Chain A
Amino acid sequence: MSFLQITSQLWEGMATSMLLFCLTLLGAIPLALPLAFGEMSRFRPISLLCQGYISIMRGTPLMLQLLVVYFAPWYVFHIPLTGYRFTAVVIAFVLNYAAYFAEIYRAGIESIPKTQYEAAEVLGYSKGQTFFGIILPQTVKRILPPMTNEIITLVKDTSLAFAIGVMEMFTMAKQIAAAQKSMVPFAAAALFYYVFNLIVARLSALAEKKLSYYR
């Protein structure tokens, strides 16, 4: 089997990996915002709940969370789910990454000086206008570097889906490598992750450049 043949066989896995990547971001990036708010809430029960959630999601392995999400419906609730594999992976990834993102958002939001809120307050901006017009845009610029780090980790983490047998890139590579007794599929997989992350880093640098018009 040539390198090209292997890559084309891996293609399906790559598509799955990329889909998982995109769905995770699509879910976790917005979900992290209410989580970050909850964490900063002055209402103790809410802030404790969110802090506890974030602490657990960050303190336990993603692979374990994946297994819990996948097996819990059947083991705990006796709900038989078929064709649930991929959905389970997406849910686990979104829940996990939302916790990491929320922590980044919180630090970013808290790094904006109090004086920005005061300036907005004396001008008569509402709380919502202040947050979405004044605070959030400045936060986005500040959280870009740590978010890029997390997103690069996410690219590599998509390979964890193999744990419950989702046919993503890495699972495919392992199968082909075993069948062919060849290292080439692994090399192709490595190349895939590397190029993917190169693109992520490039996009992030572009975004950073785009936001460099102010300090």
Chain B
Amino acid sequence: MNVLTINNLKKNFEGRPILKGVSLSIREGETVAILGPSGSGKSTLIRCAGLLERMDEGSMICLDKKVAWMENGQCVYAGPKELKQVRSNMGFVFQSFNLFPHFSALKNVTDAQIHVKKRTAKEAEERARALLKKMDLSHRADAYPYQLSGGEQQRLSIARALAMDPKVLFFDEPTSALDPLLTGSVLQVIRTLAEEGMTMAVVTHEINFARSVADRIVFILNGVVEEEGPASILDNPSSPALKEFLSGITK
């Protein structure tokens, strides 16, 4: 079953076409890695998928719910109630963490559970402590985001997203803001989630990570999917563009 299906997504910024008809589907339990050079439209794609950006054209279905569709040549989105419902199935992890600086690590993970999911404070804290433990942050529960290392902050933001029990988790370059030494712990967490069967789409520049974790690779260039397939395409790319991209990265 597909958790998310996007068809023929087009998006312009200031009249400039950024995505020129991209289709993306994510099956349940699958980890999709989205690769591509800077400016190719990866963030735009994942932000459209995560409902942070609206498509100009295209259709989108999330867990059998119609999110957006074409009507008389126009892209129409479902109403706010339906979108809220759809959004509750999605989690998003940002490159720059975007933690709430005025909340402790614990409160970053409990607050939305209490105010959005309407869990009791006790339930929320139990869930948060379990997630902090999983993210190896138990000892940092009372710290504020500024007191955490980049890697810890990103793991905390993953815990915050997981606490809402998303059915699909989007990552936009989760390790790009990190010191190379700190990327390992975050990638390890994502790897564990993949092994546990979490459905994920990850925009990343970490080729080795993509190769070993992703079930499928989507390579984007200039707003189109240039090549798509299992992780093995990273070793045997068929398109010259992916070949060139890979040789540029390994150099």
Residues of A bordering B, CB below 8 Å: 115-116, 118-119, 121-125, 129, 133-134, 137-138, 141, 213-215
The residue among B51, B84, B98, B144 with the most chain A CB atoms within 10 A of its own CB is B98
Bound: A121/B51 CA distance, A: 9
Choose the segment among B7-15, B110-118, B131-139, B228-236 that binds chain A (4+ C-beta atoms closer than 8 Å).
B110-118
Bound: A185/B245 CA distance, A: 81
Shortest C-beta distance, B68 to chain A (Å), equals 17
Interface residues in B142-157 by Cβ distance below 8 A to A read 144-146
Chain B residue with the shortest CB-CB distance to A114: B98
- Say which residue of B98, B117, B160 sits within 8 Å of A115 (CB atoms): B98
- The dominant DSSP class at the B interface is loop
B85-129 contact mask (Cβ, 8 Å, vs A): 1 or 0 = 001101110101011111000000001100111000000000000
Q: A116-B100, A118-B94, A215-B101 are in contact. Are A124 and B84 (CB under 8 A)?
A: yes
B153-172 contact mask (Cβ, 8 Å, vs A): 1 or 0 = 00000001100100000000
Shortest C-beta distance, B32 to chain A (Å), equals 18
B174, CB-defined interface residue at 8 Å: no
Bound: A188/B88 CA distance, A: 63
- Say which residue of B52, B96, B99, B164 sits within 8 Å of A124 (CB atoms): B164
Residues of B bordering A, CB below 8 Å: 50-52, 84, 87-88, 90-92, 94, 96, 98-102, 111-112, 115-117, 144-146, 160-161, 164
Q: Is the CB of A138 within 8 A of B101?
A: yes
Residues of B contacting A141 with CB < 8 Å? 102
Q: A122-B87, A125-B115 are in contact. Are A115 and B52 (CB under 8 A)?
A: no
Q: Is the CB of A123 within 8 A of B144?
A: no
Residues of A contacting B116 with CB < 8 Å? 123-125, 129
Q: Is the CB of A122 within 8 A of B92?
A: yes
Q: Is the CB of A214 within 8 A of B101?
A: yes
- Say which residue of B102, B115, B146, B164 sits within 8 Å of A138 (CB atoms): B102
Q: A116-B98, A118-B98 are in contact. Are A123 and B112 (CB under 8 A)?
A: yes
Shortest C-beta distance, A108 to chain B (Å), equals 14
- Say which residue of A116, A133, A213, A215 sits within 8 Å of B111 (CB atoms): A133
Chain B residue with the shortest CB-CB distance to A215: B146
Residues of A contacting B161 with CB < 8 Å? 122-123
Bound: A137/B102 CA distance, A: 8
